[in-house]
Amino acid sequence: MKLYNNIVYMCLSVLLAVIIVGCAANSPTPVSPQSYSGTNIPNNNVVNPDARGNRRGTAGIIDRVSNSNRVALVIGNGAYQNESILKNPPNDAVDVAKRLSELGFQVILKINLTRTQMRAAIAEFGRLATNAEAALFFYAGHAIQNHNQNFLLPIDITTNSISDVVDQGITLSYPLRELNAAKSMVNIIIIDACRTPKFTEKFRSVARQRGEAEQPFGLARTTFARPDTMIVYATQPGNGALDSTGGRNSPFTTGFLAALNTQDLSLGGVLKTTSKKVKKLTNGFQVPYTDGPRTLDDFQFRVAANTETLSSPAISSPANSTPVITSTPPPVSTAAADAEAARLAALEARRKQEEARIARLKQEQAAAKQAAAQAQAKAERLDRQERARKAAQAKEAARLAALEEKRRAEEAKIARLQRQREAEERKAQAARAEAARLARLNAEREAAARRARAKKRSRKSFEPEMVSIRGSCFQMGSPTSEKDRDSDEGPLHRVCVKAFKMGKYEITTAEYAAFLNALRPSTADRKKWVETKAEDSTSNHLIERNGQFQAETGYERYPVNNVSWYGAVAYLQWLSQATGKNYRLPTEAEWEYAARGGTQTRYWWGDEDPVCQKGARNGAKFDDNAQCDDTGTEAVGSYQANQYGLYDVHGNLYEWTCSGWSDPYNGSEKKCLLSGASARVFRGGSWIAYADFVRAATRFRNEPGSRNFSVGFRACEVQVK
């Protein structure tokens, strides 16, 4: 047996040597991608020397040998021949390709492609992605939507009309179909496009002249959904994306590269970090959007690379072609080959003899095992019989014990019933006394209810319901130890507010429609204040018919959105005149004091994250990447109120305050900025915000004339000095 093992070991050693030689003959020499800046961007016909002096095309960068079959196609289009030139997409493509290559991807880098070149590159990518563990497609450049289809634009496109886009553009479904055919396990599509909203303006102008529907900004939602595919857009549907905030990369690519250099390289972690970075870089204007199953969140970008780089023969690679590996085997001696063949034949004869001996031993072992199995079966049969006898004895003992327990239980029941009868007699006496007390309380409650109804009748039908908030002092901002804290939430400082009243709910669409119908503003003023559903349909329920405004049927108690700071102030000035009371927006300090409900935790209910669940104490309307993901607002009061009786202070809609922005706090949070175009603060989070954005201390800002589908307001009433 020992001789047989030695023979097998020798044969395996020979085979392993052959395999290692084969791998060494076919392993490409690792090449590190170059970094480019400014105009130092490679075109698709440039080749770069590797460490041996050979030439390789930039279209097939492979910078390390990976244990995993992962491929990526990275395209950056900036040098458009007939459209506005983009500075950063080539930089974005080069930097992303370099980082993906460092993480173990086989990367195809393409810069400034025509339509023919783009189709060829995507087809090549599809072939490389066949049965791959992961396939990633990254595109930076111009893109546009038409009839809910997204088109990636090559550099030679001529866009005199939207028909040119359809004829010359590359639909997003094209790389999706290639990946579907490739049957790769995980597919990631990243589109950093829509960088210049002005690009679609000429199509919108032509549509207005023809009386047709205007071309929408941004890209459309994706209708191609697969359980193995995640699609990532640089910004939300219908919105433009910035090309630069001053650096060599777009805001999205800046955030994406930063996320790829963190400890958490899961797909979910990278996307969350990217989203936070982009929102911060663009002051909340640009919000990355994803379309794909959450089951892909655990995908890891990093794979372990081989620690040993194998030597390889010369690599010859013309531009834009697959590297060809060539090698010449050394001469072999015929006599030595004959001697080796004879030695191997002798080893084969000895191996067969050993196999025959092993076969005989196996037959003997089989007979012994059969005898042992029969003996074991007999022992098990006897053991089963003994266990059955003991089980019968135990069952009888258990039956007798149960009878004894039942007798004792009956005796205890009789004693318990006696005690219960005595207790019920005592309760009857107490109940009679309680009934008399409740009768008195009911009389007092009815008197209080009559007084409350009389007071409520003094409130006008169009006036929002208000809640009295007592004056006090509190710690404003967040401590440095708070989870998800941003630097603009400090320093933590003591602020005192006087007593005031706060709207129980956010101002509803029906309440704002009543204001517009009563004031009848000019079209210019109305558009400065608020957008209707016809102008922005995103979660908007305000409609105009024959010069009259009203809430969409069934949405009367949904909060009004797309309201500018000026529109909120105009409504509260009208409400003050109509009621004789003093209404205004709350200061930033008044808003945070009321929202906290007397607490100092992340949310009014505590530190735990919210859930999108009505009836839950920590329920709120926000973007939880699950059932509440991008589903719009809810009717006011759908979730529980805080300790002061205020609803929806976390989520549903951001809420304007009257205070100007300052970072760090400098006292402006306690004042109203009544004029000027500087940024105003809004608070509270919204239906498209993550959980960390709806905290009590989270702050946001925007120009007072901005109108956004995630922003509304609530009223504040103060005593006239």
Residues 371-411: pLDDT tens digits?
999 999 999 999 999 999 999 999 999 999 999 999 999 99
Whether the pLDDT of residue 48 is over 50: the answer is no
Give the whole-angstrom CA distance, residue 571 versus residue 276.
33
Segment 214-243, tens digit of pLDDT:
556 678 777 655 788 999 999 888 777 776
pLDDT at 163: 83
Locate the domains of the chain by residue range.
66-305, 466-717
Q: Does CATH number 3.90.1580.10 belong to domain 466-717?
A: yes
Whether the pLDDT of residue 308 is over 90: the answer is no
Residue 664 tokens, joined: 């760090």
Order of all β-strands in the sheet with 229-233: 106-111, 70-76, 134-140, 186-192, 229-233, 289-291
- State phi, psi for 563 to the nearest 5 degrees: -105, 130
294 pLDDT tier (thresholds 50, 70, 90): confident
pLDDT at 208: 67
Model pTM? 0.42
What are all long-range contacts of 124-130, with beta carbons under 8 Å and residues at least 24 apart? 124/73, 125/71, 125/73, 125/175, 125/178, 126/175, 126/178, 126/179, 126/181, 126/182, 127/182, 128/71, 129/71, 129/178, 129/179, 129/182, 129/184, 130/182, 130/183, 130/184
- Whether residue 493 contacts residue 617, with contact meaning beta carbons closer than 8 Å, is answered with no
Helix or strand or coil: residue 536? coil
Arithmetic mean of pLDDT, 530-552: 91
Give the whole-angstrom CA distance, residue 62 versus residue 69.
12
- SS percent in the chain: helix, strand, coil, step 5: 40, 15, 45
pLDDT at 377: 93
630: left (phi over 0), alpha (psi -120 to 50) or beta: left
Chain Cα centroid distance, residue 141: 23
Give the whole-angstrom CA distance, residue 5 versus residue 473.
84
Whether the pLDDT of residue 84 is over 50: the answer is yes
199 pLDDT tier (thresholds 50, 70, 90): low
Q: State the chain's mean pLDDT as an integer.
A: 82
CA quadruple 399, 404, 408, 414: dihedral positive or negative?
positive
Helix or strand or coil: residue 394? helix
Segment 126-136, tens digit of pLDDT:
999 999 999 99
pLDDT at 438: 85
195 pLDDT tier (thresholds 50, 70, 90): low
148 pLDDT tier (thresholds 50, 70, 90): confident
556 pLDDT tier (thresholds 50, 70, 90): very high
Arithmetic mean of pLDDT, 316-338: 40
Helix or strand or coil: residue 202? helix
Arithmetic mean of pLDDT, 592-612: 96
Q: Do domains 66-305 and 466-717 have the same CATH topology?
A: no
Segment 471-502, tens digit of pLDDT:
999 999 999 999 999 999 999 999 999 999 99
Give the whole-angstrom CA distance, residue 682 versus residue 649.
12
CATH architecture of 66-305: 3-Layer(aba) Sandwich (3.40)
Give the whole-angstrom CA distance, residue 304 versus residue 262.
16
pLDDT at 146: 85
Whether the pLDDT of residue 60 is over 50: the answer is no
Whether the pLDDT of residue 22 is over 60: the answer is no
Give the whole-angstrom CA distance, residue 697 versus residue 474.
12
Whether the pLDDT of residue 210 is over 90: the answer is no
| Identity of the amino acid at 100 | L
HEC sequence for 542-565: EEEECCEEEECCCCCCCECCCECH
What percent of the chain stands above pLDDT 70?
80
